[in-house]
Amino acid sequence: MAKILAYIESKENKFKNSAFETVSEAKRLSQALGCDFASLVISNQSEDELKVLGNYGAGEIFHINLDEMNSLKGGNIKYSYSAIAKAVSEFAKQNGFTVILFSGTAFGKAVSPAVSILTDSALVPDITKINVDGGNISVIKPVYAGKAFAEIKVNTPNLVLSLRPNVFKAEKTDSDNATIKKIDITSLNLSADDFTTIVTDVVLSQGKLDVAEADKIVSGGRGMKGPENFYLIEELAAVLGAATGASRAVVDAGWRPHSEQVGQTGKTVSPGLYIACGISGAIQHLAGMSSSKCIVAINKDKDAPIFQVADYGIIGDVFEILPVLTEEFKKVL
């Protein structure tokens, strides 16, 4: 009988949408398999803050206090990936969890493979769908930067999965079943020796929404002609509450930072809305954004490959169109 554990990530003691997506999917999976599921959170959140997960289907929520955990090591430590992987694995093994879900965030992608080895589990990272047939689980994973999708079957009962953010549905429920269970840190066989990698500082670009997390992205390419014109992208993004993205060409030219690069050697994104401005649509760029739910292209070249994947578009001059488009959005938002 399978038993599901959803590791629910909090950042700065807050849950991101990907956390709710993971809880909801764990709930759906437990219903499909006819088995139990629990959530595990390692943070400094209060019981009230944790109970929010109940709105998305969480029942039992196990909690490890992060400060208590870090005190096993002491010193300047925000958190330790190695200690967290050990803690999650110990908890899973002690309690017979066989299927462990993580969000496929930077954190989840770092911890889940370590947990898979420590729990002797199969690992499928960055999945976009879970299928259940009888008691068997298969999953879908994008491969070759999303140019193809692999259907993957698992050959062992123990499985670790990381879920691609912004793909699974966070489903709000009316139920009120959330119960918080505090885990005694001494029960997990953790010692200072498990803290082999330590995060001492987290530096975030203030106020800037990351393309990997945004539900709307406005991206600029070489058609923007120079870094001085990207204010047009930024203004549209601001009105939409979107992140700003960039093609590889403009990042390599030094016009935009690498953190904004969307594409095969940049970030793979699947937002609800992707607006590509002055981007021709090279294969590698498309690989990074083609699974966006709605793609809009603005380009003066009617033969630009981007129009092959666009749901909507305007053929025309970005410099004329962007300011007017920004005004039009302002009117309706």
Partner 1 sequence: MKIAVCVSLVPDSTTKVKIGNSGKSIDENGVTFILNPYDEYAVEAAVQLKEKQGAETYAISFGTDKSKEAIKKAYQMGIEKGILIKSSSEDYDNYTVAKNLSDVLAELKPDLIFFGKQSIDFDGLAIPAMVATMLNMPFVNVVTKLDINVTEISAEREIEGGKEVISTSMPAIIGTQKGINEPRYPNLKSIMASKSKPIEEKAATYSGNKIEIISMALPPAKGKGKILEGGVASAAELVRLLRDEAKII
Q: Which residue in this structure is represented by tokens 């594409």?
A: 263
Read off the DSSP letter of residue 72. Answer: T
Contact 152, 138 (CB under 8 A): yes
CB of 327 to partner 1, least distance (A): 8
Interaction between residue 212 and partner 1 (CB under 8 A): yes
- Interface residue with partner 1, options 44, 132, 259, 305 (CB under 8 A): 259
Interaction between residue 197 and partner 1 (CB under 8 A): yes
For 205, how many CA atoms within 13 A lie in the half-sphere containing its CB?
9
- Distance, CA of 41 to CA of 34 (rounded, Å): 23
- Interface residue with partner 1, options 133, 184, 203, 303 (CB under 8 A): 203
Q: Which x/- pattern over 118-137 shows residues binding partner 1 (rule: CB under 8 A)? A: x--xxxxxx-----------
Contacts of partner 1 in 305-324 (CB under 8 A): 307-317, 320-321, 324
- Interface residue with partner 1, options 273, 276, 279, 289 (CB under 8 A): 273
CB of 191 to partner 1, least distance (A): 14
C-alpha distances in Å from residue 177, one per residue of 61, 138, 148, 279 = 10, 29, 39, 48
CB of 308 to partner 1, least distance (A): 8
Interaction between residue 14 and partner 1 (CB under 8 A): no
Side chain identity at residue 296, one-letter code: V
| Binding region for partner 1 (CB under 8 A) out of 19-27, 30-38, 204-212, 221-229 | 204-212
| Binding region for partner 1 (CB under 8 A) out of 22-30, 35-43, 219-227, 283-291 | 283-291
Contacts of partner 1 in 40-99 (CB under 8 A): 78, 81-82, 85
C-alpha distances in Å from residue 46, one per residue of 64, 112, 149, 182 = 11, 25, 40, 11
* Residue in 137, 125, 128, 135 with CA at minimum distance from that of residue 161: 125
Interaction between residue 156 and partner 1 (CB under 8 A): yes
Contact 222, 247 (CB under 8 A): yes
Interaction between residue 253 and partner 1 (CB under 8 A): no
